Structure 1
Amino acid sequence: MKALIQRVTQASVHVEGEEVGKIGAGLLLLLGVEKTDTEENAEKLLDKVIRYRIFADENGRMNNSLADSKGELLIVSQFTLVADTKKGSRPGFSTGATPELGEKLYQHFISCARKQLQSVQTGRFGANMQVSLVNDGPVTFWLEN
């Protein structure tokens, strides 16, 4: 399971012109699920995301986590994160989860996040989405477990 997280001042996701998720200050998380991933992988990655210290403390240093800052979280599924890009000029997706497993683990990740955070918004699994964001910093990290 892989996550690309971006610290944002705001982010939103639209499907067919309809806004389906929107946050203020917090994290935009793009989530990719591989065929070997489990619910345990999802829980470990979520814990890392919530505790990752990338928000400014009172001295302007990155010492606070999403939980510390009481920031919002926007979770968007993105299967292209698990693409194999090592050879050639076309990505391979043989390591990606089936749509059924991907959606199951995406929903599990969301459910666990909502138990731990006050504000969790999402995209729509499998949909063609348009994501807008204002990256704060810019601060972007690639996380996996």
Structure 2
Amino acid sequence: GDEFTFSYDIEWRPLDPKSKTLASVVNTRQGLGGIPGQPIPEGVNKMVIDFEGPVFKGLDNKSGIKPIVEASNGEILEPIGVYPVVGTNQWRLAFDYKQANNNPVNIRAYLVDKNDEAITETWVSDAKVTIK
């Protein structure tokens, strides 16, 4: 093959650049799946993601915010919850998932507005079920 030579500079910054229009992921939590107070389903974990940004100002449960959650090598289970975190500029996305085999589940998630326009950055994870 051909040989190529490139010259470039790498800049290191303490934080990722923030979008002026999209909310950012501020927290991710993983734990046991299922409904609190009910028996824990076998092979199911829960993922909880908090998004924060000025795009949420003035929005409530009736604003038409919808979750988009996709998985490969696994399954996203219903229901998928999305709701504002009271007293903050955050919205929380919560869902259960299962692995198809021993490989991690590749999950992508973000929120859209009532016009199906993305209002958050896309959260991506290779997740494994921690409790079988």
TM-score by length of 1: 0.28
Q: Which has the larger radius of gyration?
A: 2
Higher RCO (CA < 8 A, seq sep 6+):
1
Structure number having the greater helix percentage:
1
TM-score by length of 2: 0.30
Structure number having the greater strand percentage:
2
